[in-house]
Structure 1
Amino acid sequence: MPFPGTWMTESQSMIYRVVPKCACSTVGQIMYYADHGEYFDGDIHDAKSGIHKWALEDSQPLLEAAVTGRELYTFTAVRNPYSRILSSFFDKIAGIQRNGKRYRGNLVPMLTKRYGVEVEGDFDQIKSFRRFLLFVRDTIRFRKPMDPDIHWSACSGHVSTLIRNGGRYNYIFPTERFNDGMKHVLSQVETRHSIDVDTMPRFNESAGHGPKQAHPIEDYFDDLSNFIMLEIYRRDFNLFKYAKEPNRNPPVKEIDIDEVYARLTK
C-alpha cells in the first residue's frame, strides 16, 4: 500500500503526513532534531538519511508496518485555504526556485500564454493571482491542462491517502496555531532530544523565492475568485473548520478527528 508524503523519525517515535505549504519544512526539522539533537544541514526535503520517508525505498517496509499497525503517534498539519493558495502563487509561480529556475520549467510560460498570468517586474499581483486561480480550478476540476500540483491540491486529498490505505491520525492541527500544535505532539511521544518550539528557528524553505505580498489577503479575492475557492476547496473548509471568507485565521472550531476519519474513508 502506498503512503506518499509520509515521514517517520528514525527512532520510530512519531509519524507525520507531509502536506505541502503547511509548515512541513519546520515539522520535518523538529522530527530530525528530536532524534539527532541538531537540525538537518539544508532543506529537510533533501535529506536521504536520518529520517524515514516513503520516497526512500528502504524506508517503505518500516513505514507501511508502522502506519498500518497504528501504534505510533501519527499527525499532520493543515492550513487556511486562502493563505495556502496565495503562498503557492508567490512561491511556485511568481518566485525563482533554489536551482535558480522557474518552477516546473515551462509552467510559467504556459500560464502567461494561456491564462495571461504575468510575474515579471512590477506586475499586477491581484490580476495575475486571479488568473492563476482560474488555472488552479481547471487542474482540480478538469485535470487540464495538467493534473493539480501537490502545492495547490486540497489538504484533504493529501491527508486522505494515509487513511484510505489503513492508517489513522491521532492529531491534526492548523499551522495558524503551530506552536501549540507541535507542543501537543511532542508531549505525546518520547524523544531522544528535547526541543523548545517557542524559541527554535523556523524553516520556511520558500521564503525569499518570490515577491512579497503587496496587498491584504482579502484584496486578492473578488466574488468570482471566492466562489472558485469555495468550489475547489469545499472539503477543506468543511473538514478543517475554516471560515469561508478571505482571511488567514485559524479554524473557527476544533478539528474533529473522528469526522475527518469517517469522511475521508468514504
Structure 2
Amino acid sequence: MGFPGTWMTESESMVYRVVPKCACSTIGQIMYYSDHGRFFEGDIHDATGGLHKWAIEDSQAAIRANVKTRSSYAFTCVRNPYTRVLSSFFDKICGIQRNGKRYRGNLVPLLIQKYGIEVGGPDGREEFDQIKSFRRFLLFVRDTIRWRRPMEPDIHWSSMSGHISTFIVNGGRYNHIFWTERFNDGMQEVLNAVQTPQAIDLGAIPRFNESEGHGPKRAHPVEAYFDDLAMHLVKEIYWRDFELFRYDFDDPANKMPVGEIDLDEVHAKLGD
C-alpha cells in the first residue's frame, strides 16, 4: 500500500498530494522554504533532499507512518479541467522540456502521425492551427484514459480525482482541498493550520511556474478551443472533477469554481 505523488516536509508539519498542473511547483517550494528558510535552487520536482517524497525510497517509511496515523495536516490543490488540459497541451505536447527535448521522446511524433496534430515546428515557435490540433489532442487523451491506448494515460492529463483518490483509498484523509484559482486564500488556510520552523509571508512568495515558456503562447481565449464535441469529450474524461471540485462544465470561459468543495463527499466518492 503506497502513497504515490505524496510529499511531506522534513519537519512533518504538512503532507501534500501532488496533482500535476495545479500549482505543484509553487506548493513544493513553499513546503521546502517552510523548513529551510530558502527555496530549492532549480525545479522542486528535481529535489532529492530537503523534502520527503514518496518517489524517494528513504522517505517512504516516514510518509506511510504519518499518513496512516493522520499525524499531519494533509492537503491538495485542484484546477479547472478546461484550463488544466489546455495547459498540458501547450506545455507537454507543443513545448520543449527543460532538458532541451520533447516530452516523453517519441510521444509527439506518435501524435503527429496518428492524430494529425501540429505542434509549431521543431521548437514550438511556428504558427499553427492551435484549436484544430488541441481538439485532436483531446481525442488522444480520451483514448488513453478510456482504452489505455496507444499508451497509458499520462499524469499531466489524467483526472485530478484519480490522483487524489489514491491517497484516500490507501488510508489517508485530506484536511483541505483548495483551488488554484484562489491560491492565496487556500494556501493561507493551510499555513494557518500548521506550525512551520520558518515563518512564511505568502504575499512575498513568487510563483514557480516551471512550465512557463516551454511552448507557444495560447493564441485564443479558453472557450475558443472547446466546441460542442470538445466539451463532450471533456465531460466524458473529467466529469467527476467538475462534480467534486465544483467547476462550471457549461461555460469553459468561467474558470472559477461555482460552489464549495465538500470534503466528506470527496472522501466518500473517491474512497471506494
Q: TM-score, normalised by structure 2?
A: 0.97
1:246 maps to 252
Structure 2 CA distance, aligned partners of 1:65 and 1:169?
15
Output one character per residue of 1:18-40: Cα deviation in whole Å (capped at 9) or x when no partner.
Answer: 00000000000000000000000
Q: Which is further off, 241-250 or 182-191?
A: 241-250
2:195 maps to 190
Structure 2 CA distance, aligned partners of 1:167 and 1:137?
29
2:164 maps to 159
Structure 2 CA distance, aligned partners of 1:65 and 1:151?
28
Give 1:102 deviation, angstroms. Answer: 0.5
Structure 2 CA distance, aligned partners of 1:151 and 1:247?
21
Give 1:198 deviation, angstroms. Answer: 1.7
**Superposed counterparts of 1:6-21, under 5 Å:** 6-21=6-21
1:265 maps to 271
User: What secondary structure, in the 3-state scheme, does the structure 2 residue paired with 1:122 have?
Assistant: coil
Identity of aligned residues (%): 69
Structure 1 CA distance, aligned partners of 2:253 and 2:205?
27
Q: Which is further off, 189-198 or 82-91?
A: 189-198
1:115 maps to 115
Structure 2 CA distance, aligned partners of 1:104 and 1:6?
22
Give 1:248 deviation, angstroms. Answer: 5.0
**Superposed counterparts of 1:62-73, under 5 Å:** 62-73=62-73
Q: Which blocks of at least 5 consecutive residues in structure 1 are unaligned?
A: none
**Superposed counterparts of 1:56-205, under 5 Å:** 56-119=56-119, 120=121, 121-205=126-210
Q: Which blocks of at least 5 consecutive residues in structure 2 are unaligned?
A: none
Structure 2 CA distance, aligned partners of 1:71 and 1:12?
8
Give 1:199 deviation, angstroms. Answer: 2.2
Asked if structure 2 preserves the Cα contact closer than 8 Å seen for 1:19 and 1:77, the reply is yes
Structure 1 CA distance, aligned partners of 2:201 and 2:163?
28
Give 1:200 deviation, angstroms. Answer: 1.2
Output one character per residue of 1:198-252: Cα deviation in whole Å (capped at 9) or x when no partner.
Answer: 2211100001000010000000000000000011100000011100131352210
Give 1:254 deviation, angstroms. Answer: 0.7
What code does the residue aligned with 1:3 have? F
**Superposed counterparts of 1:36-55, under 5 Å:** 36-55=36-55
Asked if structure 2 preserves the Cα contact closer than 8 Å seen for 1:83 and 1:247, the reply is no
What code does the residue aligned with 2:209 have? N
Output one character per residue of 1:98-126: Cα deviation in whole Å (capped at 9) or x when no partner.
Answer: 01110000100000000000012211100
1:213 maps to 218
Structure 1 CA distance, aligned partners of 2:204 and 2:9?
21
Give 1:179 deviation, angstroms. Answer: 0.4
Structure 2 CA distance, aligned partners of 1:145 and 1:198?
44
Output one character per residue of 1:35-63: Cα deviation in whole Å (capped at 9) or x when no partner.
Answer: 00000001000001100000001100000
Structure 2 CA distance, aligned partners of 1:250 and 1:158?
21
User: What secondary structure, in the 3-state scheme, does the structure 1 residue paired with 2:99 have?
Assistant: coil
Asked if structure 2 preserves the Cα contact closer than 8 Å seen for 1:83 and 1:248, the reply is no
Quote the RMSD (CA, aligned, Å): 0.7
Asked if structure 2 preserves the Cα contact closer than 8 Å seen for 1:92 and 1:103, the reply is yes
